[in-house]
Amino acid sequence: MQTSIRRHAPFWISIFAGIALWEIAGRSTSAAFMVPFSETLVRLWQLVTTGEFIAQFFDSAELFLTGFVLALAVGMPLGLLLARVRVLRIGIEPYIMTLYATPMVALIPFILSMMGFGFAPKVLVVFLFAVFPVLYNTVEGARSIKPELIEVAKSFRSNEWSLWREVLLPYTLPYSMTGVRQAIGRALVGMIAAEFFLSSTGLGQLIMSASQNFDTGGVFASILVIGLIGVGLMRLGLKIEQHFARWRQ
């Protein structure tokens, strides 16, 4: 009990200090500029009780999950294939690295003018944001496999299945999970970007319409919620990464 208080006290002190600072700053500036924490909560509660918030949240969640799962479904198998076929990996490695470093937001205007305003273009945006971190890191893991390991496995006449199970997967998966963590963060950015710049839906629309109506409270409420979702997802990503990091030698 005593130690738990001592351990968590700094956290709560810093959180309360932050909230107090926010409250004071909000009260001492104009309402169009900043809204105190208490009013943000009130506005958030209004959004929740009118049901607007819940509907938008599920809209966003659907977009996020579809794009993210697609990115995993493409990125992981492709990355593992690259881990197995060395020539293929060497061949397309530089292009994956290039696309990983390219700001994918720049492609949104093209997607808009080619695919319009449906659900599919938005999924494509989330997918493009998320897939390259997964691929890049899986390939990074594939590079960490020493060719000797595969040679030894082969000279002991290991079959394809056990080669995957004993060598390829244990070596590449921890890296892939680093990619998954990065992909979660990027997919979230992609989700909001798609909702801002393609058809306006979800939490992105919530912020957009609030800011267009000069409803600063609504803007703060949405940012607070998206921020908390971001923090939660980041933690989840770290947990996943750490779970698999034990495999890394």
Partner 1 sequence: MTEQAIGTSIPLSTAPKPSPLAARMSGTFAPRLIAGLAILLLWEFVVRAFAPAYVAKPTTVIMAIPRVIVDPAFQVATGVTLAAVAEGLAVALLFGTIIGLLMGRSPMFERAIRHYVNGFYAVPMIVVLPLFSLWFGYSGATRIATIIFAAIFSIIINVADGARSVPREYLEVARSFRSNRLSVLIGIVLPASLPYLLAGFRLAAGRALIGAVVAEFFISVGGLGYYILFNSRTYHHNEAFVGVLLLAGFGVGFELLVNWSTRHFMPWYRRGDKS
Strands (E), the chain: none
Nearer to partner 1, 81 or 158 (CB): 81
Beta carbon nearer to partner 1, 1 or 106: 106
Q: How far is the CB of 197 from partner 1 (least distance, A)?
A: 6
Q: What are phi and psi of 155, to 5 degrees?
A: -70, -20
Least CB distance to partner 1 at residue 161 (A): 27
Residues near partner 1, by CB under 8 A: 10-11, 13-15, 17-18, 32-33, 87-88, 90-95, 97-99, 101-103, 105-110, 112-114, 143-144, 185, 188-189, 191-193, 196-197, 207-208, 210-211, 214, 216, 219-220, 222-223, 226-227, 230-231, 233-234
Q: How far apart are CB 221 and partner 1 at their closest, in Å?
A: 11
Q: Which is nearer to partner 1, 41 or 99 (CB)?
A: 99
> From the CB of 223, what's the least distance to partner 1, in Å?
5
User: Closer to partner 1 at the Cβ: 3 or 157?
Assistant: 3
Q: How far is the CB of 102 from partner 1 (least distance, A)?
A: 4
The nearest distance, CB 38 to partner 1, in angstroms, is 18
Give the nearer residue to partner 1 in terms of CB position, either 1 or 32: 32
**Cβ contact 225:151 at 8 Å:** no
Q: Which is nearer to partner 1, 146 or 165 (CB)?
A: 146
37 and 22 in contact (C-beta within 8 Å)?
yes
Q: Which is nearer to partner 1, 44 or 207 (CB)?
A: 207
Instruction: Count the Cβ atoms, other than its own, within 10 Å of residue 1.
Output: 5
CA within 13 Å, CB half, 242: 6
Q: Which long-range contacts (CB under 8 A, 24 or more apart) does 52-59 make?
A: 52/206, 53/206, 53/225, 56/201, 56/202, 56/203, 56/205, 56/206, 57/202, 57/203, 57/225, 59/201, 59/202, 59/203
Q: Which stretch of DSSP H or E encloses residue 143? A: helix 119-144
Q: How far is CA 40 from CA 138, 218, 249, in A?
A: 42, 7, 47
Q: 């959004």: which residue's tokens?
A: 47
Shortest distance (Å) from residue 159 CB to partner 1: 27
Q: What DSSP element (H or E) covers 38? A: helix 37-49
Query: The tokens 């970007």 sit on which residue?
Result: 193
